[in-house]
Amino acid sequence: MDFINFYFLPGIVLGSIYALGAIGVSLVFGILRFANFSHGELMLIGAYITYSLLHFTGLHPLAVLPIAMIFTGVVALGIDHVFYRPFRTSKATIVIVASFGVALMARSAVQIIWGVDPVSYSPGQIQKPIVLFDSLRIFSKHIWIVSCAIVLMLTIHVILTYTKTGKAMRAMSDSTELARLTGIETEKIVRATWLLGAALAASAGVFLAWDTHLHTMMGFYMLLPMFAAAILGGIGQPYGAMVGGLVIGLAEELSSYPWIGGEPLLPPAYKGGVAFAVMVMMLIWRPSGLFRGRVF
């Protein structure tokens, strides 16, 4: 049961968080055709907004999460209007460099407003796990994180499959010019993309901060696993990002399990390298990803 309690279940939780962040990366790439390296900072902003709301209202993180998602969406729209919209017709490399600059500015703004010291949503509180079948231990917050992640992923599926906006987003992902010729308001769809991506990023940031702690480099550390998940599933494919996130999360946690002998197969400090290794191997072996997304 140690394998399930300390490796498999944490891998599912981490994979769910990665999946939410990777969906936003894939949506932005599919619609706007550039890799948004400031996506991790949207997670950071959403997590810190939730931290402030917790101190202001005293409510549970899940209770204030919708408000944080809305605020983060508004921030994403402002960033797009100021920094990305002027480069709509520019080469992708220019927008990618701009996203690096946005990431640095957003992180610095967070550090100025909230400080650089790590903080916690529930300081000084130690949560005991729920014991099932005498040996299975699971934390209630993990149940909530995975459940909410599933609900959010199902919501994205419903939006993309059954709503007019979702169908327009898929049409723009196939061809922006054809979508424009058919009468789709492309700027409206771009705004919807930013709102959805930022909302999912905020939820991922809140879940990660709730599960561990909150610090200003959190978004930067999450960037590589999210892109690895998006590339593994197929860049520009939201459904692939869901699968890729779960695979990357499980791979990172299971890599430190003592598969051979009594020592961890990979020291826990090097778990981040697993995401990089998976991303590189996927780019070499199958650049389009598992779900045949776009190729850089």
DSSP-based three-state secondary structure for 239: helix
- pLDDT profile of the chain (296 residues), mean per 10: 89 96 92 91 97 93 96 97 91 91 96 94 80 87 95 94 93 88 92 96 96 93 93 86 93 90 83 86 83 64
Q: Which domains does the chain have, with CATH numbers?
A: 2-110+136-285 (1.10.3470)
Best CA proximity match to 234, nearest among 40, 20, 22: 22
pLDDT confidence of residue 285: 85
The angle subtended at Cα 158 by Cα 153 and Cα 161, nearest 5°, is: 120
Give the length of the chain: 296
pLDDT confidence of residue 33: 86
Give residue 30's region: left, alpha or beta (phi > 0; psi -120 to 50): alpha
CB crowding 101-125: b at 16 or more within 10 Å, else e: ebbeebbeebeeebeeeebebeeee
What is the pTM (predicted TM-score) of this model?
0.93
pLDDT confidence of residue 186: 92
pLDDT confidence of residue 273: 87
At 123, phi and psi to the nearest 5? -65, 140
Amino acid at 148: C
pLDDT confidence of residue 295: 57
Output the CA–CA distances (angstroms, integers) from residue 76 to 84, 226, 259, in the order listed.
10, 18, 43
C-alpha to C-alpha distance for 60 and 78, rounded to whole angstroms: 28
Which residues on neighbouring strands pair with residue 214, listed in sequence order? 119
pLDDT confidence of residue 294: 61
